[in-house]
Amino acid sequence: MESFTAGLISLEEAQQKMLAQLTPIADAENVSLAAAAGRITAKAVTSPIAVPPFDNSAMDGYAVRLADISHGEPLPVAGKAFAGAPFSGEWPQGSVIRIMTGAPVPAGCDAVVMQEQTETREGAVVITAPVRPGQNIRLTGDDIQPGHVVLEAGTRLGAAELPLLASLGIAQVSVVRKVRVAIFSTGDELQPVGEPLAEGAIYDTNRFAVSLMLNKLGCDVIDLGIIKDNPAALRAAFAEADRQADVVISTGGVSVGEADFTKTMLEELGAISFWKLAIKPGKPFAFGRLSHSWFCGLPGNPVSAAVTFYQLVQPLLAKLTGLQKSALPPRQKVRCASALKKSPGRLDFQRGILRQNAQGELEVQTTGMQGSHVFSSFAQANCFIVLERERGNVEPGEWVEVEPFNALLEA
């Protein structure tokens, strides 16, 4: 159908071509845990201590010695052990120690009996269930041994990783230095938010989306604002961005209109690696090299800019920072509950709502209009419906692939 889609390169080819040229940033810095959220480890982190650091009780109950409980006699309580206040006296034969969860077990203790499996008779304790040696004792180092690698190099630090480091008493962590990313929007029609809309103008959506996503990815964002569709202004913006940043991201002006100068600038000031992909939205994406930095020219349509950021810039930043985990979530096949419009020729990233149906099965529904100017489709969506390049319309009930949004697009 779309014969003008012949010759466009596939998304996989573009991703491979881009990633093959990049070398990870080698510079690292030490930061406090509080400042490390979203950053990526520069080297493996090993544990300085054992976890747990001492044998301790998993239950509130009684520390016992097996020899003492074999007769079934009531046993007097010889003392108490609390988390933070261990039992420190002599433990006489034929007695138990009252113990709380997390308290160090007293020397010689064979097991902890939870208090629900005991009865108290005249101040002494009777055990009412069989006791297994070692039960309810959490042994030193059963979670982590000293010297054990707890995080590999290239791990993003989030709500699972940072508390783990805190539990080991690690106050500082070596992370890859932040990627410096210069961004600007291009377009004579663009207006920043905060003023009434002038005749023929539209608000600048893209700089907001791009800088938010870059912040989430832990980058240093250099915001160069809105640049007019004018070669001199664009030349200056490109040069300034190239001077300051590792990566330069523009939006708009990357197609073939008479006010589209992005590609010309990239040709003039650097070298194009590829332009025009077989994806929808996002066809006119351009990637190349300026004097010092990598350049990504995102299309102006806001959905196209967000999709290309997600599918191409995100893997680029992952490679630069040495991230080991795949930047993009795995896709899965589910039934589509809606009819979808699709022309063969480009891999399509429609916005969908993935949910459980009444039968408990996952299914996906469209968010409605899918034009590359329809940014509202992102607000309800929680996934991309990824439709193969040569596929046509989809009827309700057909299988489709979905790619759940990762944290970049989720609130």
Ligand X SMILES: Nc1nc2c(c(=O)[nH]1)N[C@H]1C(S)=C(S)[C@@H](COP(=O)(O)OP(=O)(O)OC[C@H]3O[C@@H](n4cnc5c(N)ncnc54)[C@H](O)[C@@H]3O)O[C@H]1N2
Please say whether the beta carbons of 96 and 74 come within 8 A: no
Touching Mg ion, residues 256-275 (CB under 5 A): 257, 260
Closer of 270 and 284 to ligand MOO (Cβ): 284
Please pick, from the candidates 15, 118, 185, 350, the single residue that binds ligand X as defined by CB under 6 A.
185
Q: % helix / strand / coil in the chain, to the nearest 5?
A: 20, 30, 45
In one letter, which amino acid is 250?
S
Instruction: Select from ligand X, Mg ion, ligand MOO, none the partner in contact with residue 52, using the beta carbon and a kind-dependent cut-off of 5 to 8 Å.
Output: none
Please pick, from the candidates 52, 106, 154, 253, the single residue that binds ligand X as defined by CB under 6 A.
253
Give burial (CB, 10 Å; 0-12/13-18/19+) of 62: buried
Question: What pairs with residue 348 in β-bridges?
Answer: 280, 387
202 is an interface residue for Mg ion by CB under 5 A: no
283 is an interface residue for ligand MOO by CB under 6 A: yes
Q: Which stretch binds ligand MOO (CB under 6 A): 178-186, 278-286, 381-389, 390-398?
A: 278-286
389: three-class secondary structure by DSSP: coil
| Structure-token pair, residue 37 | 């959220």
Q: Report how many residues bind Mg ion under the rule CB under 5 A.
A: 3
Q: Min. distance of Cβ 291 from ligand MOO in angstroms?
A: 28
229 is an interface residue for Mg ion by CB under 5 A: no
Q: Min. distance of Cβ 308 from ligand MOO in angstroms?
A: 8
Please pick, from the candidates 260, 348, 363, 403, the single residue that binds ligand X as defined by CB under 6 A.
260
Q: Min. distance of Cβ 309 from ligand X in angstroms?
A: 12
Alpha-carbon dihedral 99, 103, 108, 113, rounded to 10 degrees: 40
Tokens 């020729």 correspond to what residue? 345
Tokens 């933070």 correspond to what residue? 84
* Pairing mode of beta strands 220-227, 271-275: unpaired
Question: What pairs with residue 81 in β-bridges?
Answer: 99
By CB under 6 A, name the binding residues for ligand X: 185, 187, 189-190, 202, 204-206, 251-257, 260, 281, 283-284, 299-302, 304, 372
By CB under 6 A, name the binding residues for ligand MOO: 280-283, 299, 301, 304, 372
By CB under 5 A, name the binding residues for Mg ion: 255, 257, 260
